[in-house]
């Protein structure tokens, strides 16, 4: 099968390699001449035989919307566009409607696996019609991990369901990482535990907290046992915020994910205006000591 792949960064480049290794032909496009296979989106369309399947792997928001708009002009009726980036699910229906005016299909696909997916495979959550999912299934099978399809791929529902599922997946990821991080800090703070990396490593087998994320924490501690080379400053890429917003919209209590998101906000403050206000209030009502700049 042929696949057009737009965006050959860390994820897209590795996905191109994995799909090719499965025996499919991949024609990739990227603005960077050192990695692209063709010079333009028009050239990509001409290099593929109809019905074309084109996978978009570019940053979410305007870059994805602009790419979909351009594809509407170079593809033909019967072709299929898959948005495999981290788009917000609310972008999917407008993208699908735009392409549908030209008779072009649309599938949204949440992709999990990061830089390790090239070798381990990617967890995939797709939204779209049965017809379009079936058309792209050879590519989904090439990208997912080995083993039963249902353990690495889900047709989650109609258009939008794939990105909604990936959003929730990433929200869960926030909570899991924060729990491991708080446990690590508590171990570090204790005078009783003298070998924190060894303790965390011992959780990898047989315990109820074993996971791939834990394996990655062990890997980080193997190279930097006290994480001295890092600053405790953590960005958020959007999905955690969206998850919390959807929890509010659906009246679903999500205290763990919310707290994990807010902890990232706190990590980016040199000093906390809120805590200054608390210190001022304690001083005002109780005469408690304050620390001045």
Active-site residues: which are they? 166, 173
Q: Which residues of 2-21 are buried (b: 16+ CB within 10 A; e: fewer)?
A: bbbbbbbeebbbbbbebbee
> Is residue 66 packed enough to be buried (19+ CB in 10 Å), middle (13-18) or exposed (0-12)?
exposed
CB 163 within 8 A of CB 108: yes
Angle at 239 between CA 233 and CA 231, to 5 degrees: 10
Q: HSE, CB side, 13 Å, CA atoms: give it for residue 245.
A: 10
- Neighbour order of strands in the sheet with 153-157: 25-29, 2-6, 53-56, 80-83, 105-112, 123-127, 153-157
CB 159 within 8 A of CB 128: yes
Q: What is the DSSP letter of 113?
A: -
């Amino acid at each position: 099968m042929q696949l057009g792949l737009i965006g050959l960064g860390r994820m897209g480049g590795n996905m191109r390699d994995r799909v090719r290794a499965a025996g499919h032909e991949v024609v990739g496009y990227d603005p960077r001449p050192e990695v692209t296979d063709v010079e333009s989106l028009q050239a990509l369309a001409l290099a593929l035989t109809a019905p074309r399947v084109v996978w978009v792997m570019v940053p979410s928001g305007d870059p994805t919307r602009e790419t979909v708009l351009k594809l509407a002009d170079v593809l033909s009726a019967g072709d299929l566009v898959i948005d495999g980036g981290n788009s917000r699910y609310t972008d999917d229906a407008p993208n699908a409607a735009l392409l549908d005016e030209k008779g072009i299909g649309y599938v949204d696909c949440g992709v999990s696996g990061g830089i390790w997916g090239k070798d381990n495979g990617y967890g995939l959550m797709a939204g779209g019609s049965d017809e379009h999912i079936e058309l792209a299934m050879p590519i989904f099978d090439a990208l997912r991990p080995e083993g039963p399809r249902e353990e690495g791929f889900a047709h989650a529902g109609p258009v939008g369901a794939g990105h909604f599922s990936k959003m929730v997946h990433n929200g869960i990821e926030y909570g899991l990482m924060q729990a491991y991080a708080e446990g690590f800090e508590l171990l570090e703070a204790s005078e009783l535990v003298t070998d924190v990396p060894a303790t965390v490593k011992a959780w990898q087998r047989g315990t109820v907290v074993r996971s791939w994320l834990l394996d990655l924490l062990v890997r980080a501690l193997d190279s930097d046992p006290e994480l001295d080379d890092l600053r405790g400053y953590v960005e958020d890429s959007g999905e955690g915020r969206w998850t919390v917003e959807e929890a509010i919209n659906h009246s679903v209590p999500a205290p763990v994910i919310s707290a994990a998101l807010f902890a990232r906000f706190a990590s980016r403050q040199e000093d906390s205006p809120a805590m200054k206000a608390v210190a001022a209030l304690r001083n005002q009502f109780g005469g408690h000591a304050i620390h001045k700049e």
